[in-house]
Structure 1
Amino acid sequence: MSMTTDNLALAPIAPASWLFSHSSRRYSHALTLVLIAPLSLLLAAGFVYPIGRLIFLSVMAPEFTLEYYERIISEPLYLYVLLRTLQTGVIVTLASLLFGYPVAYLMARAKGRTAMIVASAVFVPLWTSVLVRSYAWIVLLQRNGIVNNLFIETGIVTSPLKLLYTEGAVIVAMTHVLMPFMILPICNALRTIPSEYERAARNLGAGHIDAFLRVTFPLSLPGIFAGCVMCFILAIGFYITPALVGGPGALMMATLIGQQTLVLLDWPFAAALATVLLTTTLVFVLAFRKALSISKGMNSVN
C-alpha cells in the first residue's frame, strides 16, 4: 500500500545509521571519532609534539647522549634548585590548603550578600594579572613599603627588615596568587555534599568538629586532591612571581630554565631540566592520586 502525502509528512525521519547506535542516547563509533578528532589534533599539536620534541632535544645533540642528565646529577647546584623548587611547591600547596579551605567552606555554605562578598574576594584577584599582583607584593614588602613602615610606626622594629627578595616573600606571594585554584575545587566539592549529612551526624551525638572531621572533610577529599594538584603543578612551574619577588637569591627551576634558554642559549640542557621537572611532576601527581585512593578505601571500610 502506498503512503499518502500526509502520512509521509507525519512519518518520523530515521537518523543515519552511522550517526547513532541502537541506543538513541549513544553515538556510533564513527561519529565519536569525528567529534573527538579536533580535540585530539589540538592535544597532539599543542602538548604531545612539544613534549616529545623537548625530550628528543635533551638526548639528541646531535647524536644520542645522556650528557645533560649526568650534568644535572653531578653538579649539586641543579639538584639543590630542584629540591628547593619542590619544597617551595609543597609549602605553597599546604599554605593554600590551610588558608583556602575555610574560605571555600564559607563560600559553599554562605548565602545572600555574604556569599557575594566571598565570591568577589576570590574571583577579583583571579581576574587580575599575575604580573600586577606580583608588583603589588613588591610595593608591600620593599624596605620603604607598607609593611616595613607599619612595623616601624608601631615600634615592632627600629629599622626596615629585609622582606623582599627572600624565599619567604616568594612563598607568601605565590600562596596569594594560587589560593583561588585551591578554593574553587574545594568549594565545588563541598557544594555537592548535602547539608543533611552533617545534621544527621550531629543528631546521632557528634559535635560540630567531630561531624566535620568524620563526614564533611572526607567527602571533600576529591576537591582537596584537585586543588592540591593544580596548586603544586603551577607552583613548581612558576616563573614571574619568583623572578620579581624572589630575585637571584630564590632561584627556582623555571627561572633556571629561562636563564639557560634566554641568556646562555643552551637549549639541550634546558630541555633536560624541563624533562626532569616534568617527570618529577608526574611522580608527585601519581603519588597524590594513590594517596587519595587509599584514603577513600579507608573511609569506605570505616
Structure 2
Amino acid sequence: MAALLTPVASGGRAGAAPPPSGRPGRLARHWPFLLIVPALLVLLAVFVYPVAQTFVGAFTIPEPGTENFSWFFGSPANVAVLTRTFSTALWATLICLALAYPYAYLMTVASPKARAALLLIVMLPFWTSLMVRTFAWLVLLQDTGVVNDFLGLFGLGPFGLVRSRTGVLVGMVQILMPFMVLPLYSVMSGIDRRLLTAAQSLGARPIVALLRVFVPLSLPGVAAGSTMVFITSLGFYVTPALLGSPSEALISQFMYTQVSGMLKWGRGGAMAVVLFATTLLLMGLLGLAMRAGRRTRAAVR
C-alpha cells in the first residue's frame, strides 16, 4: 500500500497532484491586457477609424493636395469663425471657473447632507437631454420669456438674449458646469484644511491664508476642469445652432454646412484638422507655461 501511494505523494503522474509552482503562464501574464481588447476594438471602430478617414479626406478629397486648406485660410470668414470659436470657448471656460470655484469650495465645507444636496444639483444636468435643456433655455431667454419679463419688473430690457453670443454662453455654461465643478471638488476635498489653520496661527488673515495656501493647492483641479470645459466647448453644435444666430456661428456649424449641406467632405475635414491642430498647439503652449511657472516657483523657494 505504501508503495502504491508513493508516486502520488512524490508528485508523479497519478491524479490530483498540484502543478509545479513557478512563474505564471503566458496567458496569465497577458490577461490584464486581454481584458481591455474589446474596448480597444470598439474605440478603433467608432472613433479612431472615422477620425483617420476625416484627416485623410482633408488631403485627398476631391483631389490630393492642400487645396482644402488653401480655401480655408484664404477666406477671411473662415478665419473669423475659427477665432470666434476659440474666444467663445475661452469665455465659457472663464465663466464656468468663476461660478464653479466658490461652489466647489462650498461643497468642501458643507455638512454631509448639504454636500449630498449640492452634488445632486451638479449631477442633475447629466440626467436631462442636451436638446431638452437647450430648448428650455430658448423658452426662458426669448424676448417675451421669463427672464426678460422678470427684468422688466425692474425697468430693464427686453434684452436680446437669444440669437446672440450671450444666449450661447448661457446655454454652454449651464451644460459645462459639472465638468468644472467635479474636478475642482475632487482636488479641494483632498486638501488638508489644517494648513489654513496653521497659516492663520502664524498671523495670516483668513482671506490671505485662502489665497496663499488653498488656491495654489487647488490649481491642479483648475487646470483639469478648464481643459475639459475648453476642449468640450470647441465642438458644441446644438446650443449655438438653437440659441445663436448665423452671424455668430461657430466652426461646428460651418463643418455641418460643408459636409451635410454642400457635400464638401474635404473642406469639412480640413476644418476639423485645423481645429484639432490649433487645439493641440494651445494645449501645448499652456503646458509649457505651467511647467515654466512651476520651475519659477521652485527656484524662488
Q: TM-score, normalised by structure 2?
A: 0.88
Indicate conservation of the 8 Å contact 1:260/1:267, yes or no: yes
- Name which of 164, 167, 177 aligns with 1:166: 164
In the TM superposition, what is the alpha-carbon distance from 1:186 to its structure 2 partner? 0.7
What is residue 228 of structure 1 aligned with on the other side?
226
> Matched residues in 2 for 1:128 and 1:193: separation?
32
In the TM superposition, what is the alpha-carbon distance from 1:150 to its structure 2 partner? 1.6
> Which structure's CA Rg is the greater one?
2
Equivalent runs, 1:198-237 vs 2, <5 Å: 198-237=196-235
In the TM superposition, what is the alpha-carbon distance from 1:89 to its structure 2 partner? 0.4
CA gap 1:11/1:251 in 2 versus in 1, 3 angstroms: same
Q: Which amino acid is the alignment partner of residue 276 of structure 1?
A: V
What is residue 144 of structure 2 aligned with on the other side?
144
In the TM superposition, what is the alpha-carbon distance from 1:141 to its structure 2 partner? 1.1
Indicate conservation of the 8 Å contact 2:255/2:268, yes or no: yes
CA gap 1:62/1:132 in 2 versus in 1, 3 angstroms: closer
What is residue 94 of structure 2 aligned with on the other side?
94
- Name which of 254, 273, 276 aligns with 1:275: 273
Q: Which amino acid is the alignment partner of residue 137 of structure 1?
A: W
> Matched residues in 2 for 1:296 and 1:46: separation?
38
What is residue 47 of structure 1 aligned with on the other side?
47
Is there any run of 5+ residues in structure 1 with no aligned partner, and where?
21-26
CA gap 1:57/1:93 in 2 versus in 1, 3 angstroms: same
| Aligned length in residues | 292
Please give the secondary structure, in 2, of the residue aligned with 1:235. Answer: helix
What percent identity do the matched residue pairs reach? 35
Please give the secondary structure, in 1, of the residue aligned with 2:244. Answer: helix
What is residue 24 of structure 1 aligned with on the other side?
none
What is residue 25 of structure 2 aligned with on the other side?
18
Indicate conservation of the 8 Å contact 2:61/2:265, yes or no: no
Indicate conservation of the 8 Å contact 1:225/1:289, yes or no: no
Q: After the TM superposition, which of the residue ranges 34-43 and 82-91 deviates more from structure 2? A: 34-43
What is residue 104 of structure 1 aligned with on the other side?
104
Q: After the TM superposition, which of the residue ranges 233-242 and 48-57 deviates more from structure 2? A: 48-57
What is residue 287 of structure 2 aligned with on the other side?
289
In the TM superposition, what is the alpha-carbon distance from 1:12 to its structure 2 partner? 8.9
Indicate conservation of the 8 Å contact 1:260/1:270, yes or no: yes
- Name which of 171, 186, 189 aligns with 2:187: 189
In the TM superposition, what is the alpha-carbon distance from 1:138 to its structure 2 partner? 1.0
Q: After the TM superposition, which of the residue ranges 85-94 and 123-132 deviates more from structure 2? A: 123-132
In the TM superposition, what is the alpha-carbon distance from 1:215 to its structure 2 partner? 1.8
Indicate conservation of the 8 Å contact 1:225/1:292, yes or no: no
> Does 2:103 correspond to 1:82?
no
Q: After the TM superposition, which of the residue ranges 128-137 and 231-240 deviates more from structure 2? A: 128-137
> Matched residues in 2 for 1:62 and 1:14: separation?
62
> Matched residues in 1 for 2:61 and 2:159: separation?
47
> Matched residues in 1 for 2:127 and 2:57: separation?
36
> Matched residues in 2 for 1:14 and 1:249: separation?
72
In the TM superposition, what is the alpha-carbon distance from 1:45 to its structure 2 partner? 2.4
Please give the secondary structure, in 2, of the residue aligned with 1:48. Answer: helix
In the TM superposition, what is the alpha-carbon distance from 1:15 to its structure 2 partner? 6.6
What is residue 56 of structure 2 aligned with on the other side?
56
Indicate conservation of the 8 Å contact 2:62/2:266, yes or no: no
Q: After the TM superposition, which of the residue ranges 93-102 and 135-144 deviates more from structure 2? A: 135-144
> Matched residues in 1 for 2:120 and 2:146: separation?
24
In the TM superposition, what is the alpha-carbon distance from 1:75 to its structure 2 partner? 0.6
Is there any run of 5+ residues in structure 2 with no aligned partner, and where?
1-5
In the TM superposition, what is the alpha-carbon distance from 1:298 to its structure 2 partner? 3.6
Indicate conservation of the 8 Å contact 2:179/2:229, yes or no: yes
> Does 2:187 correspond to 1:180?
no
Give a deviation string over 1:108-151, Cα, whole Å, max 9, x none: 23223321221122111232221122112111211110121122
Give a deviation string over 1:67-112, Cα, whole Å, max 9, x none: 1100111110000000000000001001101111111111123223
Give a deviation string over 1:221-268, Cα, whole Å, max 9, x none: 111111111101111110010001013232001111111112111111
CA gap 1:15/1:115 in 2 versus in 1, 3 angstroms: farther
Please give the secondary structure, in 2, of the residue aligned with 1:233. Answer: helix
